[in-house]
């Protein structure tokens, strides 16, 4: 544990915070902000930095204003929201199960959430219900994965492998559902399943955005519980942490955040997985990493979305392709190093 | 070792006579499935017409054309693909002593698919008969990468490492495939005739150039299988029995590549056949790699044919059926196997 916990006094309110994590989070915030400005200014219809300055001073009109306010900004918001949620969810599960491989995308929860959302879309449900479908699918997938991995105890590695199997099963169900819907819905859903941030205006992301922002304080609080639980269950109980209740709360929060992200951007692969380890590199191990991890998630997703929109000019690629291009090699490298050092 | 390897079970669960009966049963099942595959489909063809299509072929009769030029090649492709994937799965499982091995799970099929799509895109390849070469190279490279990562460090590859490496590599390669297809509309058009994991639209033109690869693959699989029995007992025992470990590994790796490359070039990546079927074959015929390869090939053909028929009956208009139907069988089997296998060294 680091001895870098500081206490900030604001009136009668005392907030304990982790200095390394706070500094790291500020740097990540600045980096994400810079990336966001880039995301807003470039694209098939370039606005440039001047365009943004004009927008801030209220001098932006016509097409420029339409592009910025109704196209770029909602899309940027969607990328940030889904990245924040996935990064936080990944770091929560990594801390809960004490293993970098244990994230919602690897454990099959995102596949379950995607399946649930497709079921709702296929049944003709309005987009507001997508979140409900994603949440139900995510909970079912998580429950099934934990249930089938349980064998006189819970081995994280068995959990991970059962999660791989569950992903296959849920992708199969999704494929079946897609073959039952009309071709137009199926084509849309296929694009979304590849991880596409493709929002139409603000209506689709208002609720997910509000929910994510509401959950961030909860995530910070859970981080404190998880820090105590890292000392071992006995110690955590002695420190007054209701360990079992905390585990349930962490798992449910992680699943809810995953479902929110999936309902906005589809099952973006590997974002939840890479955010935690990168954040750890950044703020040092032993620090509170959930919030830095969520910022890394936002950074990665916005960067992937910029690449997806601009790299090939004439054709827009799903954002998920780029998160996979970054995440999968990272996963393979981690696996290689862990194998080499005999940890797996 | 041992609890990682599947064969810690009674060596011969059935008497020889029973095995003969089961063999006859499998052949009968294959015959029934083959007949059903010819008769069942969107277009209703009376059974008498289906038989007539072979006895008195009339090129002007649309029913006969459907049977001879559409359903028959599809049937043959299903048999070849199922047999090849099952045999390859048996070889991989025994060679790596990993009961959870499968060409799909270990990324070999993804590698072959990526090779094909890359060739369609980069070399403007459009004749399915040529797909075999990029498929072979892709399968070989992907298998090498997964094996390298899986066996890094001390000790042999564990099921855990191998599957995770395969899953991540597959995710990476399928993302790249998606990107290539979206970038190039032309690739997409060629690719559509080679839909991922489907037997739809396969003609005799697609099958003929691949037949030598399947033939070589099956013969090599049966020839190389005996040495794997010794390897199942452990490297040291195998060596003391006079088995050349390096030669056996190289031989079987090339066989697996050949079988998987052929299957993918014909039907795209289909997972789980190689996982599920060898376990069934072992349960029926005991642990004996030659037997598992031979009977597994027959059972694999049955599984793919049955899945294709179920797909045609259940799925409305999408043509992803075979792979999807098999996933419904394969994923639960995978989870069941994970529960009863020691997935990592302790």
Is residue A228 one of the residues assigned to a domain?
yes
pLDDT at position B194: 59
CA distance A114 to chain B (A): 16
For a pLDDT cut of 70, what percent of chain B falls above it? 88
B163–A161 C-beta distance less than 8 A = yes
A249-to-A255, B198, B335 alpha-carbon distances in Å: 10, 43, 27
Give residue A2's pLDDT: 44
Give the CB-side neighbour count of residue A84, counting CA atoms within 13 A: 25
A148 inside 8 A of chain B by CB: yes
Q: How would you classify the pairing of strands A5-10 and A13-18?
A: antiparallel
- What stretches in chain A show pLDDT beneath 70? 1-5, 10-16, 285-287
Whole-number CA gyration radius for chain A: 20
**What residues make up the domain containing A126?**
22-334
Give yes or no for A336 touching B (CB within 8 A).
Answer: yes
Q: Where are the beta strands (DSSP E) in B170-266?
A: none
Any B CB within 8 A of A269 CB: yes
Cβ separation A328–B169 shorter than 8 A? yes
CB-CB under 8 Å, A165 with B335: yes
Q: Where are the domains of chain B?
A: 16-340
Which residues in chain B are closer than 8 Å to A179, comparing Cβ atoms? 315-318, 320-321, 324
Q: For residue B17, is pLDDT > 80?
A: no
What integer pLDDT is reported at residue A130 of this predicted model? 85
Give B326→chain A minimum CA distance, Å: 9
Instruction: Give chain A's domain count.
Output: 1
Output the pLDDT for position A322.
93
Query: 0.90 cut: is pTM over it?
Result: no
Give me the residues of A, 9-68, that contact B with CB < 8 A: none
Averaged pLDDT, B310-321 = 69
- pLDDT on residue B1: 37
Contacts of A185 in chain B (CB under 8 A): none
Q: Do B153 and A148 touch (CB under 8 A)?
A: no
**Residue environment code for B244-275, b if the CB has 16+ CB neighbours within 10 A, otherwise e:** eeeebbebbbbbbbbbbbbbbbbbbbbbbbbb
Q: Closest Cα to residue B276, out of B332, B217, B344? A: B332
Report CB contact under 8 Å: A175, B338.
no
Question: What pLDDT does A15 receive?
Answer: 63
Residues of chain B positioned with their CB less than 8 A from the CB of A165: 331-332, 334-335, 338
The rounded mean pLDDT for chain B is: 85
Asked if A342 has any chain B CB less than 8 Å from its own CB, the reply is: yes
Domain B16-340 fold is ABC transporter involved in vitamin B12 uptake, BtuC (1.10.3470)
> What share of residues in chain B are helix, strand, coil (percent, to 5)?
75, 0, 25
Asked if the structure places residue A339 within a domain, the reply is no
Give the residue with greater pLDDT, A16 vs B10.
A16
pLDDT of residue B169: 95
- Structural contact between residues A254 and A93, judged by C-beta atoms closer than 8 angstroms: yes
Q: Which residues of A touch B178 (CB under 8 A)?
A: 194, 317-318, 321
SS3 content of chain A, % helix, strand, coil (to 5): 75, 5, 25
Confidence of residue B9 (pLDDT cuts 50, 70, 90): very low
Band (B300; pLDDT cuts 50, 70, 90) = very high
Residues of A in contact with B344 (CB under 8 A): 157, 344
CATH of the domain at A72: 1.10.3470.10
Element (H, E) at B27: helix B16-39
Beta partners for residue A13, in sequence order: A10
pLDDT of residue B193: 54
Q: Which parts of A284-318 fold into alpha helices (H)?
A: 290-310
Q: How far is B188 from chain A (nearest CA, A)?
A: 14
Output the pLDDT for position A300: 96
Least CB-CB distance to B172: which of A178, A329, A336?
A329
Q: Is residue A152 part of a domain?
A: yes
> Does the beta-carbon distance from B152 to A336 stay under 8 Å?
yes
Residue in B with minimal Cα distance to A151: B339
Q: Tell me, what's the pLDDT at A253?
A: 96
Tell me if B172 sits within 8 A of A328, measured CB to CB. yes
Cα–Cα separations (whole angstroms), residue B16 to B21, B239, B295, B300? 9, 30, 14, 22
**Is residue A207 within a helix (H) or strand (E), and if so which, with residue range?**
helix A206-229
Is A328 part of any domain? yes
| A161 touches B at CB < 8 Å | yes
**What are the counts of helices (DSSP H) followed by strands (DSSP E) for chain B?**
15, 0
* A125 contacts A133 by C-beta, under 8 angstroms: yes
> A180 and B316 in contact by Cβ < 8 A?
yes
């Amino acid at each position: 544990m680091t001895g870098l916990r500081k206490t900030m006094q604001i009136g009668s309110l005392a907030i304990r915070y982790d200095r390394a994590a706070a500094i790291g989070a500020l740097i990540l915030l600045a980096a994400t902000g810079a990336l966001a400005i880039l995301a807003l200014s470039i694209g098939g219809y370039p606005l440039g930095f001047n365009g943004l300055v004009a927008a801030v001073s209220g001098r932006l009109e016509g097409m420029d204003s339409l592009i910025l306010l109704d196209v770029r900004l909602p899309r940027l918001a969607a990328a940030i929201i889904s990245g924040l949620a996935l990064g936080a969810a990944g770091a929560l599960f990594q801390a809960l199960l004490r293993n970098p491989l244990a994230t919602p995308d690897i454990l099959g929860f995102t596949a379950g959430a995607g399946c649930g959302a497709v079921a709702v879309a296929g049944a003709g449900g309005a987009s507001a219900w997508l979140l409900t479908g994603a949440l139900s699918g995510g909970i079912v997938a998580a429950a099934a994965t934990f249930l089938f991995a349980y064998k006189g105890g819970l081995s994280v590695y068995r959990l991970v492998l059962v999660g791989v199997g569950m992903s296959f099963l849920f992708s199969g169900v999704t494929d079946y559902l897609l073959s039952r819907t009309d071709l137009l819905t199926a084509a849309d859903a296929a694009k979304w399943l590849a991880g596409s941030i493709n929002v139409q205006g603000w209506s689709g992301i208002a609720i997910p955005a509000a929910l994510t922002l509401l959950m961030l304080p909860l995530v910070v609080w859970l981080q404190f519980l998880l820090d105590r639980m890292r000392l071992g269950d006995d110690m955590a109980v002695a420190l007054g942490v209701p360990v079992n209740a905390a585990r349930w709360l962490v798992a449910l929060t992680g699943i809810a955040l995953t479902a929110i992200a999936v309902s906005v951007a589809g099952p973006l692969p590997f974002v939840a997985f890479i955010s935690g380890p990168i954040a750890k590199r950044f703020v040092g191990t032993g620090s509170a990493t959930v919030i830095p991890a969520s910022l890394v998630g936002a950074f990665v997703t916005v960067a992937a979305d910029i690449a997806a929109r601009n790299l090939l000019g004439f054709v827009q690629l799903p954002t998920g392709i780029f998160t996979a291009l970054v995440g999968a090699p990272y996963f393979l490298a981690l696996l290689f190093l862990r194998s080499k050092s005999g940890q797996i | 070792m041992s609890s990682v390897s599947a064969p810690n079970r009674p060596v011969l669960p059935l008497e020889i006579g029973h095995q003969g009966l089961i063999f006859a049963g499998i052949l009968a099942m294959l015959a029934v499935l083959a007949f059903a595959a010819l008769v069942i489909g969107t277009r209703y063809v009376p059974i008498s017409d289906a038989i007539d299509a072979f006895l008195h072929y009339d090129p002007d009769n649309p029913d006969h054309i459907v049977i001879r030029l559409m359903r028959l090649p599809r049937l043959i492709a299903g048999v070849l693909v199922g047999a090849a994937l099952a045999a390859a799965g048996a070889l991989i499982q025994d060679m790596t002593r990993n009961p959870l091995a499968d060409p799909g799970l270990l990324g070999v099929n993804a590698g072959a698919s990526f090779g094909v799509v890359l060739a369609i895109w980069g070399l403007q390849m459009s004749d399915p008969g040529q797909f075999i070469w990029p498929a072979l190279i892709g399968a070989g490279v992907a298998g090498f990468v997964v094996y390298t990562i899986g066996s890094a460090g001390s000790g042999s590859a564990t099921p855990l490492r191998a599957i995770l490496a395969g899953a991540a590599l597959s995710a990476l390669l399928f993302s790249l495939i998606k990107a290539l297809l979206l970038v190039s509309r032309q690739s997409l058009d060629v690719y559509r005739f080679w839909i991922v994991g489907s037997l739809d639209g396969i003609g005799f033109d697609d099958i003929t150039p691949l037949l030598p690869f399947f033939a070589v693959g099956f013969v090599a699989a049966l020839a190389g299988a005996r040495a794997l029995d010794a390897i199942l007992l452990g490297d040291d025992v195998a060596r003391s029995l006079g088995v050349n470990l390096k030669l056996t590994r190289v031989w079987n790796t090339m066989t697996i590549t050949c079988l998987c490359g052929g299957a993918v070039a014909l039907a795209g990546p289909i997972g789980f056949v190689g996982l599920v079927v060898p376990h069934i074959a072992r349960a029926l015929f005991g642990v004996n790699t030659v037997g598992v390869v031979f009977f597994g090939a027959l059972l694999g053909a049955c599984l793919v044919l049955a899945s294709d028929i179920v797909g045609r009956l259940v799925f409305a208009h999408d043509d992803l059926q075979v792979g999807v139907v098999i996933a419904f069988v394969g994923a639960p089997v995978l989870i069941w196997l994970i529960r009863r296998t020691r997935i990592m060294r302790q």
